[in-house]
Structure formats: C-alpha cells, structure tokens
C-alpha cells in the first residue's frame, strides 16, 4: 500500500510540476506577444538613401538636368524684363518639378515597399524616423537598405 501511496504522490507532484511548467511557458509566450503589441521601429532615411546606388545615380541625373535647364534659360533670363523673368522662372520651376516627380516616383514606391516589408518582418505596428525615438524601438535601417537595393537590381 505504501508503494501505491508513494506512486500517487509522485504522480501528483509530477502533474503539479507539469502544470507549473505549462503555465510558465504560456505566461512567457503571452508576455512576449504583449511586449510586441504596439512595437515601434525606426529608420535612418538618409543612411538608406546614401547606400542606395541607383537612387544616387538618379539624383545625379536630376542635378545634371537642373544644371542644363538653368544653362538653357540663362540667356533668356538675362534679357527678360520683370514679368517675363517671373514667367520664365515659373516655367523652369515647373519643368524641374515635373521631372523630379517622374524620377522620384519609382524610388518612392520601392522605399515604401521596403519599409512595409521590414515592418511586417519585425512585426512592427509603427515605423518612425529615428529623430523621434528617444529610447527603445527596432532599427530597420539595414533591412530597408538591403531591400531597396534588391528591388533596384530586380527592376533593371
């Protein structure tokens, strides 16, 4: 009888220990999930742009275009009167804005896609610019940099 009683006590102790272990595991999982809820990531956008060769090349092309446009209008601007000069400057500005919008759009789309993918990868709810983060958060800069370069290569 004593052996049977000891066996029941051992089984009861094992059941209690198992219950404690399961409870601890569930608590750990729930705590981990709770700590991720509302997670914030941050991004150093200038670093991403400076490590994105195809974006840098497009930026150089735009600057070359802007320089050429200014050169093309230089003589007209020198000869223009007040109202004509204003109209020419507006024309230059409109051309530059249109070209900039056309050149930036594909890079803006790639950047947004990369940020969204990095946000999902890390399970983040919010991504901020690093200037707004005082402490904590997940730095997604390297992930986004890798993704935009990957997307650029795929687009070629």
pLDDT in tens, 95-109: 999 999 999 999 999
pLDDT value for 35 = 45
16 SS3 class: helix
pLDDT value for 80 = 84
pLDDT value for 33 = 47
Q: Name the stretches of the chain with pLDDT < 50.
A: 16, 18-19, 22, 30-37
Q: Which CATH number is 38-155 given?
A: 3.30.910.20
Q: What's the CA angle centered on 140, arms 135 and 145, to 5 degrees?
A: 140
Q: In what order do the strands lie in the sheet with 138-139?
A: 126-129, 40-43, 138-139
pLDDT value for 7 = 58
Within 8 A by CB and 6+ apart from 76, the residues are 88
DSSP string, 112-131: HHHHHHHHHHHT-SEEEEGG
């Amino acid at each position: 009888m004593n052996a049977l009683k000891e066996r029941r006590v051992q089984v009861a102790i094992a059941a209690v220990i198992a219950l404690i272990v399961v409870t601890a595991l569930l608590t750990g999982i729930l705590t981990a999930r709770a700590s991720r809820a509302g997670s914030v990531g941050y991004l150093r956008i200038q670093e991403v742009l400076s490590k994105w060769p195809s974006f840098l090349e497009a930026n150089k092309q735009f600057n070359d275009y802007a320089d050429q446009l200014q050169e093309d209008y230089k003589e007209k601007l020198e000869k223009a009167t007040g109202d004509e000069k204003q109209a020419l400057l507006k024309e230059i500005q409109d051309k530059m804005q249109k070209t900039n919008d056309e050149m930036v759009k594909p890079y803006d789309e790639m950047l947004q896609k990369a940020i969204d993918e990095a946000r999902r990868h890390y399970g983040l709810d919010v991504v901020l610019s690093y200037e707004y983060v005082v402490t904590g958060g997940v730095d997604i800069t390297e992930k986004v940099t890798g993704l935009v370069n990957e997307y650029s290569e795929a687009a070629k």
